Amino acid sequence: MGVFDGIAKDLLATLDSGLDAYDARLRSEQIGTVVRVGAAVADVEGFTELGADELIAFPGGLMGAALDIDEKRVGVILLDPAAALAVGSEARPTGRAIDVPVGQALLGRVVDGLGHPIDEAGPLRATECWPVDRPAPAILDRAPVEVPLQTGVKAVDAAIPIGRGQRELIIGDRQTGKTAIAVSAMLNHQAGRPGGQGPAAKPGLCVYCAVGQRASAVARVIDTLRRAGALERTVVVVAGSEDTPGLQFIAPYAATSIAEFFIARGEDVLVVYDDLTRHARAYRELSLLLRRPPGREAYPGDIFYIHSRLLERATHLRPERGGGSLTALPIVETQAQNIAAYIPTNLISITDGQIYLSPVLFEKGMLPAVDLGRSVSRVGAKAQLPAYRSVAGDLFLSFAQFEELEVFSRFGTRLDKATQLKLTRGRRVREALKQREQARPAPPEQIAVLLAATHGLMDALPLDRVADAERAISQAIRETEAPLCRRIENGEPFDDDARTALISTIRQALAPLTQEGGNGDA
């Protein structure tokens, strides 16, 4: 018995020392009660302390975020389906705002608005989380937009140039090619220019944020990125039409925080928001369910601020702040070409320009259907390659004059030779601006084709041979003018000697086609 008594004494002594060291303290915990459940919101009472946008945990792993905070009631937007949530359920604050995982582990992944993977590629191994709603960089932390972002679309790169760090709106009716423009920019941006020099040749990263889109449309974009080898340098954030309005509302902010992690490390990131029309509708739905007073078109009064605080985060940082850039391409959908509607005009005033896609041009087969007359870039011209400014500097004015002349000529009036020449040349320029969705010509090829069209080198060709002429020109300058191509891509001045050399190469490339062509307007 002596052995057992000794063991018992030692055990009791250990327990006594542990109890003496234990400091029993009361821990307060807030527990609220759900008093109302809506389609995508819930009202909770019983909280005494709560932060803005704080995450709220409900039974069964359901999460929400505090959007309306009153003295007695909290309006919570639900980030998961609310089928299992009932009146009387407990609600517990988490003490943290809405955040999202960030880091290299997200590249090549498809996640939802909270950063949860939805691509069946295993769990994320992110080591850091950032709040989805972060303040925009200060004015003194920003640098001028000086580096071009090439989209691979001739009409955009030549007439509506975009710079890295710019906010350029893509606007148009349904099914006019808005997403195609954005995807082309993503593919061109992440590829960079192998062998080129300077910041413009550096490949960048992309974040594609799909808000309220059909699953089939998102799957097509992901498949396009995967087949082009671009998915490994892209993060896809999806809040589809089947997701809750709360998740659709926070998805663009989450995508921007993911991008900001990379720009703080010197990367150039392109973010596509597809599209902010559905984002505004999701926020309108949440606001009406939370019984906020409606304004114009039933949108809440702060809808402008919702989008401005998102797009203000796009910038080019100074070198001491990392030197990265965040370029935003928000997409907005119009109805019946009404760009004066509430949300489109808001976004036009927030952004640095817009690319307008016309359904009329689309129906005529003018693809991409970019309407140069309604499109503008207020910042990117300063970052455009010098060769573009030299070759296509007056493209806006000359093309607008051609379109007016073409309308006038339909009345059957007799035209003088100068007017006929303008019409002939304008039709070649219009044909030269067309391109297939998969085609993304390099800047030297674009410049050579535009030089040929605007300077009358294609006037003798039939319209149906312009595409053949473009292929011949592109092949010729790649094979015979490689040094000149490098100078153009590196941003060197495009002087008279370079223009003469390029025109000579173009003439040689077009000679076989011109001999076969016959009458130019055939």
From first to last of its 522 residues, what are the pLDDT tens digits of the chain?
Answer: 556 666 777 777 777 777 666 666 666 778 999 999 988 999 999 998 899 899 999 998 899 999 999 988 999 999 988 888 999 999 999 999 999 999 999 999 999 999 999 998 899 988 899 999 999 999 999 999 999 999 999 999 999 999 999 999 999 999 999 999 999 999 999 987 665 666 667 889 999 999 999 999 999 999 999 999 999 999 999 999 999 999 999 999 999 999 999 999 999 999 999 989 999 999 999 999 999 999 999 999 999 999 999 999 999 999 999 899 999 999 999 999 999 999 999 999 999 999 999 999 999 999 999 999 899 998 888 889 999 988 887 787 888 888 888 888 877 667 888 888 889 999 999 999 999 999 999 999 999 999 999 989 999 999 999 999 999 999 999 999 999 999 998 889 999 999 999 999 999 999 998 777 555 554
Q: If we measure between CA atoms, which residue out of 307, 221, 247 comes closest to residue 40? A: 247
pLDDT attached to residue 419 = 86
Copy the structure tokens of residue 290.
Answer: 């939370």
Copy the structure tokens of residue 74.
Answer: 């909290």
How many Å apart are CA 127 and CA 421, to the nearest integer? Answer: 64
Cβ distance 357 to 182 under 8 Å? no
* CA dihedral angle for residue 103, residue 104, residue 107, residue 111, rounded to 10 degrees: -30
Cβ distance 191 to 184 under 8 Å? no
Q: Could you tell me the pTM of the whole model?
A: 0.91
How many Å apart are CA 270 and CA 209, to the nearest integer? Answer: 11
The residues that are catalytic are 378
Q: If we measure between CA atoms, which residue out of 433, 434, 439, 427 comes closest to residue 463? A: 427
